[in-house]
Structure 1
């Protein structure tokens, strides 16, 4: 969920920079807007790091469970396949939810009051 929260923060800056190039926005206003979202982004990343520490994902890194070895790939094929399909399905589900939320939000913002 926190990864989804980082998406608007990371897409705001690249979308705002062309406004500066075309002189639609003052450089001071742009800097203020970008600087205002920096702290929430850092807080979200800190929460994600803390959650990875608490849930034990760092143990997977120490035991090198994140790597696939050529000599052991056939022995772990079914487990790796299930794990990667689950990750893909999870990301697609979250991406679909994010797109649906974004379309609802844009519809609400574009409708007259």
Structure 2
């Protein structure tokens, strides 16, 4: 079940995400640096051993290539609660608006 506005809203959200990812790649070349240290809610990007970018994170979810599925972060009991704030907001939004793909774990 989805509200009639959901498809257009989703398409716009994906468009905005793609534009943001493109900007990160073009301006910071984030995709070319190794990534490490998810502890303490920070993601560090480094190049040649030197940290270039530090950013705070929230985890949206994870994929399982073998199972070919997506699991929302709020449904993953292995993740620290401090990194799930935004994912929980997505779930609440999905429940409130009857959008199953935002409110179901996978």
The TM-score normalised by the length of structure 1 is: 0.28
Q: Which has the higher strand share?
A: 2
Q: Larger Rg: 1 or 2?
A: 1
More helix by share: 1
